[in-house]
Structure 1
Amino acid sequence: MLKVIREGTKAKAMFFIIKGIVEVTSEDDEIVYAELGKGCFFGEIGVLFQVARTTSVIAKTKCIIAIIKASEFYELCEKHPKVAKAIHDEAIYRYTNLKTQKEERGKQFDVSLNENILSPLKSITSDEDLFKTSTSNIKKISLININSERNNSNNSLSNDDFEASNASNNTINTTNNDITNDTTEVTVNISLKNTATEKDLHSPKLVVSNDNNITMLDSSVKVIEQNTPSPQNPNLGFIQRYSGRRRASVAVWADDQLSKLQQNIQNQLNKEKSPTESNAPTNLSVSSTAQIVSPINDALKQDNISESSSVYSSLSSISKEKESLTQSRKQNINQKFSEIKKKEEQPYLGPLPIDLMKKCISFLDYKNQFRIRRISKIFNIIITNGNSSDLTDPKWIDYDFNPPLSTSIDLSTIPKLINDEVLKIILSACGDFIIEDLNLHRCWEVTDVGCKAIEDVGSEIKNLNLLGCWDITDNCLVSLSSNLQNLEFIDLSNCRKITNLGVISLLQNCPRLSKISLSYCKNLSSELFANSLIWRKVKQLNLQRCTGIFDAGFAFWKEQITQEKDDPSIPDSFHLKKLNLSDCSFLTDTAINNIADTCQELEEISLSFCCALTDECILNLLTKCKELKILDLNYCGLAVTDEICNVIAKKM
Structure 2
Amino acid sequence: MKTNKKTTSNCNPFDFLTEEIIFTILDYLNDDPFSKKSFSLTCKALYSIESHHRKTLKPLRAELLSRTLHRYPHIEHLDLTLCPRIEDIMLNVVSLACKDALCSINLSRSRFFTNIGLSSLVSSCFNLVEIDLSNGVELNDLAAAAIAEAKNLEKLWLSRCKLITDMGIGCVAVGCRKLRLICLKWCLKVSDLGLQLLALKCKEIRSLDLSYLQITEKCLPSILQLQHLEDLVLEGCLGIDDNALSTLQQSCKSLKTLNMSNCHNHSHVGLSSLINGAENLRELTLAYGPAVSLIPLSTKISWKL
Deviation at 1:597, TM superposition (A): 1.8
Q: Sequence identity of aligned pairs in percent?
A: 20
Partner of residue 634, structure 1: 287
- 2:152 partner SS: coil
Q: Give the aligned residue type for 1:442.
A: R
Partner in structure 2 of residue 407 of structure 1:
76
Map of 2:179 onto structure 1: 513
Superposition pairs of residues 605-616 of structure 1, within 5 angstroms: 605-616=258-269
Within 2, Cα distance between the matches of 1:551 and 1:365? Answer: 41
From 276, 280, 303, the counterpart of 1:623: 276
Q: What displacement does 1:534 show?
A: 2.3
1-structure distance, mates of 2:295, 2:272: 9
CA contact (8 A) 1:592 1:617 kept: yes
Whether 1:604 aligns to 2:257 is yes
Q: 1:428-507, aligned counterparts within 5 Å?
A: 428-430=96-98, 432-481=99-148, 483-507=149-173
Change (3 A) 1:467 1:580: same
Number of residue pairs aligned between Structure 1 and Structure 2: 271
What code does the residue aligned with 1:357 have?
E
Quick one: structure 1 residues 555 and 360, their matched pair in 2 at CA, closer, same or farther if it must change by over 3 Å? closer
The Cα offsets for residues 613-632 of structure 1, whole Å up to 9 and x where unpaired, read as 11122122222222212111
Distance 1:372 1:529 in 2: 37
Instruction: Find 2:50's aligned residue among 357, 360, 364.
Output: 357
Q: Secondary structure at the match of 2:18?
A: helix
> Separation in 1 of the partners of 2:203 and 2:20?
51
Aligned in 2, Cα 1:359/1:592: closer, same or farther, shift over 3 Å? Answer: farther
2:87 paired residue among 419, 422, 433: 419
1:574 paired to 2:227: yes
AA in 2 matched with 1:412:
T
Task: Tell me the amino acid that sits aligned with residue 108 of structure 2.
Answer: H
TM-score (norm 2): 0.77
Separation in structure 2 between the aligned mates of residue 511 and residue 364 of structure 1, nearest angstrom: 28
Q: CA deviation at 1:487?
A: 0.3
Structure 1 counterpart of 2:238: 585
Q: Where in structure 1 are there 5+ consecutive unaligned residues?
A: 1-338, 385-403, 562-572
Distance in 2, Cα, partners of 1:541 & 1:517: 6
Task: Say which of 173, 178, 200 aligns to 1:533.
Answer: 200
- Residues in 2 aligned to 1:345 and 1:509: alpha-carbon distance in whole angstroms: 40
Larger Rg: 1
**How far is the alpha carbon of 1:422 from its aligned partner?**
2.6
Cα distance change of structure 1 residues 409 and 625 upon mapping to structure 2, 3 Å threshold: same
Alpha-carbon spacing, 1:595–1:537, altered in 2? closer, same or farther (3 Å): farther
Which residue of structure 2 aligns with residue 383 of structure 1? 72
Letter aligned with residue 503 of structure 1: I
Equivalent AA in structure 1 for residue 272 of structure 2? L
Q: Could you say which structure has the higher strand fraction?
A: 1
* CA spacing shift, 1:642–1:374, aligned 2, 3 Å: closer
Residues of 2 paired with 1:600 and 1:424: CA distance? 44
1:202-256 deviation line (CA, Å, top 9, x unaligned): xxxxxxxxxxxxxxxxxxxxxxxxxxxxxxxxxxxxxxxxxxxxxxxxxxxxxxx
Gaps of 5+ in 2: 1-14, 23-38
Aligned to 2:298: 647
Residues in 2 aligned to 1:343 and 1:455: alpha-carbon distance in whole angstroms: 31
One-letter code aligned to 1:484: A
- Give the whole-Å Cα distance in 2 for the aligned partners of 1:472 and 1:456: 18
- Quick check: 2:180–2:207 contact (8 Å CA) kept in 1? yes
Query: Given the alignment of the two structures, is residue 552 of structure 1 paired with residue 218 of structure 2, yes or no?
Result: yes
* CA contact 2:57–2:78 (8 Å) conserved in 1: no
For the residue of structure 1 that corresponds to 2:17, the secondary structure is: helix
CA distance in 2, matches of 1:476, 1:622: 39
Alignment partner of 2:298: what SS? helix
Shift of 1:491: 0.4
State the one-letter code of the partner of 2:159: S
3-state SS of the aligned residue for 1:623? Answer: helix
- State how 1:92-131 maps to structure 2 within 5 Å: none
Instruction: After superposition, give the CA deviation of every residue in 1:562-599 in whole Å (9 maximum; x if it has no partner).
Output: xxxxxxxxxxx532111111111121111222123222
In structure 2, how many angstroms separate the alpha carbons of the residues matched to 1:492 and 1:368?
Answer: 24
Q: Which residue of 2 aligns with 1:336?
A: none
- Work out whether residues 361 and 369 of structure 1, in 8 Å CA contact, stay in contact via their aligned partners in 2: no
Structure of higher RCO (CA pairs closer than 8 Å, 6+ residues apart): 2
Equivalent residue, structure 2, for 1:341: 17
Letter in 2 for 1:448: N
With over 3 angstroms needed to count, the CA separation of the structure-2 counterparts of 1:597 and 1:474, relative to structure 1, is same
Pair 433,372 (structure 1): closer, same or farther in 2 beyond 3 Å: closer
Give the drift of 1:485: 1.3
Change (3 A) 1:643 1:434: closer
Q: 1:463, CA displacement in angstroms? A: 0.3
Question: CA-to-partner distance for each residue in 1:601-624, whole Å, 9 max, x for gaps?
Answer: 111111011111111221222222
Contact preservation (8 Å) 2:81, 2:109: yes
CA gap of 1:621–1:407, structure 2 versus 1, over 3 A, is same
Cα distance in 1, alignment partners of residues 262 and 96 from structure 2: 45
> What's the offset of the Cα at 1:462?
0.3
Structure 1 residues 466 and 343: alpha-carbon distance in aligned structure 2, compared to 1, 3 A threshold: closer
> Given the superposition, is the C-alpha separation of residues 349 and 609 from structure 1 closer, same or farther in structure 2, using an over 3 Å criterion?
closer
Normalization by structure 1: what TM-score? Answer: 0.38
Partner SS, residue 576 of structure 1: coil
